[in-house]
Amino acid sequence: MSGQQSGRAGAGEIFQPLAADDPTTVAGYRLAARLGAGGMGKVYLSYTPGGRAVAIKVIRPEFGEDAEFRRRFAQEVRSAQRVQGLCTAPVIDADPDGTRPWLATAYVPGPSLADAVVAHGPLPVETVLLLVAGMAEALHVIHGAGIVHRDLKPSNVLLAADGPRVIDFGIAHAADATSLTGSGVTIGTPSFMAPEQAAGRRVTPATDVFALGQVAAYAAMGVPAFGEGTSHGVLYRIVHEQPDLSGLPERLTELVTRCLAKDPEARPSVQEVIRLCQAANEATVLRRPEDWLPAPVSADITARVAAPAPVQAPPPPSVPPTAPGTVPTAPAYSPTAPAGPTAPPAPPAPTAGRGVPVATAGAPGTGFGPPTGAPGRPATPPPGTGPSAAFAYAPTQHRGPGGPSSPGPYPHGFPPPGTGLRPAAGQARRGLLVALVAALAFGVAGGVTAYVLLKDQGQRTGADGGAQQDGRGGGASRGGSTGPATGATPAATASAAPAAVAPKAVEFKDIDLPAGYHLNLGDEVVRPEDGEDGGYELSYDTGDYLDAEGNGGHLVLLDPGQKGSLATCRAETRFAQDVYVKSLSQGRQICVTTGSGHMGLVTIRGFSSKDSPSKYLTLDLTVWRNAAAAPRS
């Protein structure tokens, strides 16, 4: 009853952004995306308070205005809430009496049967048997709740990793009684209706069995059993003609033929349908494996598993907004300033392009002038500022006539303004001279640093993930005639060390890697080479698995929602020597570390078709050369 129909391509089409006329919440459920729309209403993605994804169908306003529809809809919702089968999407919440009626069901991450057949063609016989048996189980619990589906069709069957799910049961019954059905709103799909339904006669559980036979034929042949065309022509053939089953596999003939009997009494029950599936199965007993779907169809599930998180409202501003043209008065952090409203604000530090600080003598909090606040407090950076903060928070020191000394109560030889103490004239002149020389030296050092950073196009990474620079530099000691500065703390010295340059990412797109071939990540142009054994860095073994054979090499299969990157590959330690292809789907990513020190990220893009003369994987590869240390000998 969820109507979880959506696009077939990428996640951008599956999870559509909300339009201007879409609601943002429904009865407290925050809507994250639109999944699709149909004749009954629109379907949205949302989440329970515990984080489980749900599909919310909001009924069209025209139906909500019809009193008889509301009555039947409420009745169907109550019945549907009793349906708890393994092959259905359970109804978890609803409001038939709301301004716009709605209901919520569990979200099923999987394409519809209609989307899968259009995108990948007919399904194998084994898959069709498991599909029909699962649908029959769903109909068994639906009929047990007193509901006839009435609109069983490929778009109302979702293909999940652990089996099919039948959805949207019961809504067609609620819509049958409305005046809208006679004014252009069609309930039910002509190609999958039963003869009695097309003729307007009584509908029974056998009606769903007829539709089940049509869905089975469509899954196995790729086309409806009674053809396509105008609704009148299709309905005429359903009532008066026999289906075209010339393309149906022989093992499915008895099953489909009996389901499509014109007489409802001649059709099998859902329990008999399951027995027919068992009889047609070569192993006689149906067992649904994890890979019950063809690999290309399984790949479509990946894009639907990574459901987008709900959009959260922005947090309220922590500082009251100020009038236009004014500067906020929130005090800037100063390591030596006392807490409280009396701490003076620090002006923003000037920059010389790309965030390179410019030395400014006397600027509070920059480390180039006297620190404000209580004397003797260490000028250490605040927690979480990262290594680059050492440039601004290097401790200042007193310089006497004989050279550097330990910091005194007034680091530059004179008290800060407002203390009531006046320095001697000689002390003031010496302090001013030292400050001017230090400012000039730091300015030269800052300019050189800016030039180097602007020239270097490589990416610099550090503990804070951003660009780093050594701002302390020897400029201060070189500029002063009294010798090098001393007394810097080890923490400040360590944090001012230059950051390592990140290895450059090299990308190779759409590589078709055949079984029995391998890739070497160290090659200038990475391309498949013949051979699957012999110490290769990444090979596609004919045993249907990817193998890291090089000395010390390993693989890590990332989780479906995990974003692959160099940092992720370095952090993950779920090492494996090989990864079986049956566990892969479109979009899955594998981290590769070679024994020679290279790292790579494999993104699965597709699989060879069954009729292809060769078996291969289509993948994208990102390589970071020398990004991992070579194994110790």
- Catalytic machinery residues: 151
Residues 6+ apart with CB under 8 A from 593: 548, 552, 553, 554, 555, 556, 569, 599, 628
The two structure tokens encoding residue 313:
């409202």
What DSSP string describes 91-157? EEEEETTSSS-EEEEE---S-BHHHHHHHH-SPPHHHHHHHHHHHHHHHHHHHHTT---S---GGGE
- Burial level of 177, CB count in 10 A (0-12/13-18/19+)? middle
**Inter-helix orientation angle 295-305/113-120, to 10°:** 130
3-state SS string over 272-313? Answer: HHHHHHHHHCCCCCCCCCCCCCCHHHHHHHHHHHCCCCCCCC
Residues 6+ apart with CB under 8 A from 363: 346, 347, 349, 369
**Inter-helix orientation angle 205-221/113-120, to 10°:** 20
Check if the beta carbon of residue 537 is closer than 8 Å to that of residue 549: yes
Check if the beta carbon of residue 394 is closer than 8 Å to that of residue 434: no
- Burial level of 67, CB count in 10 A (0-12/13-18/19+)? exposed
What Cα–Cα distance (Å) separates residue 351 from each residue in 354, 356, 366, 428, 483? 8, 5, 12, 29, 28
Q: Which helix (H) or strand (E) holds 454?
A: helix 425-455
**Can you tell me the distance from the alpha carbon of 594 to that of 535, in angstroms, rounded to the nearest whole number?**
10
**Can you tell me the distance from the alpha carbon of 135 to that of 153, in angstroms, rounded to the nearest whole number?**
11
CA angle 360, 462, 630 (to 5 degrees): 145
Residues 6+ apart with CB under 8 A from 605: 510, 586, 618, 619, 620
3-state SS string over 515-528? Answer: CCEEECCCCCCCCC
